Amino acid sequence: MTVRIVPDQSVRKTMLINGDADLDMWTTEPMIADLKDKPNVEVNPSPTNRWVMRIFFNLAAKGTTDPVATPHPILSDLRVRQAIRAAIDVDTISKEFFLGYAKPAWTEFFRPPYTCDLPRPKFDLAAAAALLDEAGWKDTDGDGTRECHGCKTAEEGYVMEMEFITYAEYGEPLELTQQFIAEQLGKIGIKLNLTVVEGSVLWGASADGGIEQNGNFDMDIWDDGYAGVDPTDFLWSYYSVDAAVPDAGYNYGRWSNEQFDALLGDVYTLDEGQRKKDFCEMASMLDAELPELLLFTTVNADAHSSRLQNVQSSTNDLVTWNSADWVIK
C-alpha cells in the first residue's frame, strides 16, 4: 500500500475519479456529493455515526469560569437556551450545507446500545420569540436586537449580542451552518458576531490561551461524540462538575448538576439494566437543562475506487482497520 499525502481535497477527488488513487480517507460532504455518481468510485459511510455537531453555551460570563459567581448575562437563563434550540432549523442545515448527510440528533443517547426515547425538539420561531419575551428580553428600540427589559440575568437595557465561534478545519459546511444559525437567531432578535478560529486556539490549554478552557466565548459550535459503545467517560469529561475546572476536562459551559454527577458514579457498574435506566435519566436531565445543544450527526465516510473491495468505514477507527480483508479486483 502506498500512502501519498495530497493536501488539496479537489486534487484528491480528481485522482480518485481518474483512477490514480484507490482510497480517500475522511471524505467530506461536498466531496461525497461530487463522487456519489461517478462510475468507478464508491463512497463508504460508517454504519453508525459518532460525531455530533453541537453548540456549547457558556453559562459563566465571557472570560470567567464560575457560573455561580459570574453567571452569563444571557445564556445562564434556561429559557434563552431553549429559545435558541427552537430557532434552529436543523433539517435545512442538513439539506443545504451538509448535502443531506447530516442526521438530526438531540441527545447523546441516539445510538445502540444506549438509546433513549426523547421527543425531537420542534423548529418554531414563534415559540422561540415567545420564550425570549417571557424571559424579559424585548426589542423596544426597534433595531432588530432584543435588550433586557425585566430579564433576571442581566442589567436593564443589556443588549442581546454575543460572539459565536467555530473552528476552521471542518471547512465550508460548518462555516455556512454558523452563518445560517446567526441569521436564524437574528430573526428572533439575538445578534451573533461570528468568529472562525483554528482548532488549536479553540481547544488549547488555558496557559496557551485556549478559548474554551479560559471561558473566552459565549457560544461555539463544533462536533464531538464518544467512540465505541460506552459513553461513560465521555459524559464525565463533558458534563461532570469535576470537568468544569479549567484544563481538567471539557465541561466548557461549566454546567453542574449534583444529581447528574451522582448518576455518573452509578453507571460504573456491570448491571446493564441499571446503566440503561441511568443513562436515560441523564438524557432527560440534559434535555431539560440544555448545557449543550445537540443538532445533528455528521457523516463518517471514506471514498474508494470500485476495484478496491471489502472497504468498511468505521466511526471508531481508521478505515484501514480491516485492510487485511481488502481485495483489488
Partner 1 sequence: MATYVLRRLIQTAGLLALLSVLLFALVNLAPGGPLAGQGQSRHIDPAKVELLKRQFGLDKPLPTQYLVWLIGNDWMQVDKDGDGALDSYGTRRGILRGDFGFSFRTRQPVLTEIGQRLPNTIYLMTITMGLAVLVALPIGIISAIRQYSLFDITVTTFSFAGQAVPEFWLGLILILVFYAWLKNPFTGGPLLPPGGMTSTGSVGFDLGDRVLHLILPVATGALGWVAWYSRFLRSSMLEVIHRDYIRTARAKGLKNWKVLFRHALRNALIPLVTLLALDLPYIFGGAVFVEILFSWPGMGRLYYQAALDRDYPILLAVLIIGAGFIILSNLLADIVYAYLDPRIRYE
Binding footprint of partner 1 on the chain (CB under 8 A): 2, 4-8, 10-11, 14-15, 17-18, 20, 26, 169, 197-201, 203-205, 207-211, 222, 224, 237, 247-250
The least CB distance from residue 169 to partner 1, in Å, is 4
Question: Which residue, 94 or 214, has its beta carbon nearer to partner 1?
Answer: 214
The least CB distance from residue 191 to partner 1, in Å, is 25
Helix (H, G, I), strand (E, B) or coil at 133: helix
The least CB distance from residue 228 to partner 1, in Å, is 15
* Nearest CA-CA partner of 214 in 230, 203, 229, 228: 203
Question: Which residue, 186 or 246, has its beta carbon nearer to partner 1?
Answer: 246
What residues are paired with 161 via a beta bridge? 191
The least CB distance from residue 18 to partner 1, in Å, is 6
Question: Which residue, 134 or 247, has its beta carbon nearer to partner 1?
Answer: 247
The least CB distance from residue 226 to partner 1, in Å, is 11
- Roughly how many angstroms between the first and final C-alpha of the chain, as a whole number? 15
The least CB distance from residue 286 to partner 1, in Å, is 19
Question: Which residue, 208 or 271, has its beta carbon nearer to partner 1?
Answer: 208
Instruction: Tell how far CA 212 is from the center of its chain.
Output: 14
Cis peptide before 30 (omega within 30 of 0): no
Which grid cell is 222? 463544533
CA distance 146 to 17: 51
Question: Which residue, 2 or 140, has its beta carbon nearer to partner 1?
Answer: 2
Contacts 24+ apart (CB under 8 A), 233-239: 234/108, 235/108, 235/264, 235/267, 235/282, 236/264, 238/292, 239/264, 239/282, 239/286, 239/291
Alpha-carbon dihedral of residues 241, 244, 245, 246, nearest 10 degrees?
Answer: 170
Question: Which residue, 25 or 159, has its beta carbon nearer to partner 1?
Answer: 25
**Rounded (10°) angle between helices 272-289 and 232-239:** 30
